[in-house]
Structure 1
């Protein structure tokens, strides 16, 4: 019998650099259009240039950054087309996931877990408080992914997770102008109730309304005459 305590394998430096840069981009700590260099990114994050170089190349494949000759990299802009494409897909997939989730007997058992995630969302989004802001964003994503997973279709849940990652940056930009977190928390609670009661059509409609309202918020914020960021 071995008495060695189990230990987690160390996370590769490139993976850690990728996670840090992706989080900074998605939360707009690195704003759309901001220029990045390997040297400054390595110094800021405390990594060597090699893992930063590999991480930026990966983010380039994901479309979050773009190479600029003799300047390094630039954080990709958020375009109106991006917003419509991402939210159009969310409107196709998430209401159907909610409808299927309501037919899943596990939805009742998981209602308490969904409520705990919603409680974090209800605390609100305060951009001046980094931990609270990140907690809200993580909980909101986790809530939507949890609903998608209850659909019983793992591929559907993964696709929704990817779309939520893409829409995180858009949501942050929208919330800076209008705090809709109270409304979102109310929508979450209504959705939890519909799921627990097995009301598929009601769950689908509630999800459709929530995703649609978030898109409207983002578009209003980024197309306002006095918007502080170009899209």
Structure 2
């Protein structure tokens, strides 16, 4: 049986996180890490028993994952993890380019000095990780995603953050499913111009660098 509330040593701290939020985090993590497969059916009653939660709590958690683009609810057949084909990937790529480039420009223009300082500090940690632990591809990948999410948050638009989750999470799930490995040896330095442009308030360059940092996905022929 999966343990829903068993934290790692580094996560041992008092929290007021609701049962619903914990269930969302648990299910999201298991989807993104590939333990729950794309297209897999999710049975509300079985999840409630497995996680020792009420069905209403599980239902609310699944609804939250619908809003994040990771789960769909099919009429008369219940819940299912989203499936992603090449056409979906092509669309997600272009949506990501549009959102991230605009968010980078907005962050360069409007983010506070404190937010830009936090971004610079985070980027230094990112660089240090790549330099000292270049083989820790999982952590490097996590910091890569975190950097992009931080820029989205810095733009100050809650609507954009909400839309971005619907792109980001399905992409992460797809990568976990296909076991696609990207060369992360130059991960931090490839973002340096983007971070510098945002911190300098150069919106045009920030947008250009955001577009350049996203791996292109080709559209299927059919």
Pairwise TM-score range, normalised by the shorter structure: 0.5 to 0.7
Partner of 1:47: 52
Higher relative contact order (CA 8 A, sep 6+): 2
- Over 3 Å counting, the alpha-carbon distance change for 1:199 and 1:53 in structure 2 is closer
1:194 aligns with 2:200: no
Q: Is the 2:68–2:166 Cα contact (8 Å) retained in structure 1?
A: no
1:209-224 paired onto structure 2 within 5 Å: 209-211=212-214, 213=215, 215-216=216-217
* Separation in 1, partners of 2:103, 2:154: 8
SS in 2 for 1:181: coil
1:148 aligns with 2:152: yes
Q: Is the 2:108–2:199 Cα contact (8 Å) retained in structure 1?
A: yes
* Separation in 2, partners of 1:154, 1:54: 21
* Separation in 1, partners of 2:20, 2:116: 40
* Separation in 1, partners of 2:80, 2:34: 13
Q: 1:89 aligns with which of 66, 85, 95?
A: 95
1:184 aligns with 2:192: no
Partner of 1:12: 18
1:28 aligns with 2:34: yes
SS in 2 for 1:110: helix
Post-superposition offset of 1:21: 0.9
Superposed CA deviations along residues 58-101 of structure 1, whole A, max 9, x for unmatched, are 54565533457998643221122322222212211211222233
* Separation in 1, partners of 2:46, 2:23: 13
Q: 2:123 aligns with which of 115, 118, 135?
A: 115
SS in 1 for 2:213: helix
Identify unmatched segments of 5+ residues in structure 2: 1-13
Task: Return the TM-score normalized by structure 2.
Answer: 0.68
Q: Is the 1:117–1:142 Cα contact (8 Å) retained in structure 2?
A: no
Task: Return the TM-score normalized by structure 1.
Answer: 0.66
How well do the aligned residues superpose, as a CA RMSD in angstroms?
A: 3.7
* Separation in 2, partners of 1:19, 1:110: 25
Post-superposition offset of 1:20: 0.9
Q: Is the 2:68–2:165 Cα contact (8 Å) retained in structure 1?
A: no
Post-superposition offset of 1:150: 3.3
Q: Is the 1:95–1:208 Cα contact (8 Å) retained in structure 2?
A: yes
SS in 2 for 1:74: strand
